[in-house]
Amino acid sequence: TLSEIANEKINITKKVNLKEGVDIEIDNATFAVKLSKKFKKRFGCEVKITRSLVGENKTRGKRIHKLTVLLRIPKPYKTNID
């Protein structure tokens, strides 16, 4: 699925390998939600989507949120993400 990210011209801003899995940060919330739906359909993942307030646009008066998508892939699947 990292190839899909490249095809959609989505920027990976951060990738961290952890013992629990991999944290990948991308700059497009819409694509993150779309990708999570694909993972859920293919692997039967548990998906949790949350948003948190990170600031406010002073000129427009709008709040700026960060979207977090958590995917828990069941154990029988290998989670090798390049």
The angle at the Cα of 26, spanning 21 to 63, to the nearest 5 degrees, equals 115
The secondary structure of 64-77 as a DSSP string is EEEEEEEEE--TTS
Global pTM? 0.68
Please write the tens of the pLDDT for every residue from 49-65: 999 999 999 999 999 98
Average pLDDT, the chain: 82
Per residue of the chain (82 residues), give pLDDT as tens. 567 666 777 888 888 888 877 888 888 888 888 888 988 888 888 888 999 999 999 999 999 988 888 888 777 655 555 5
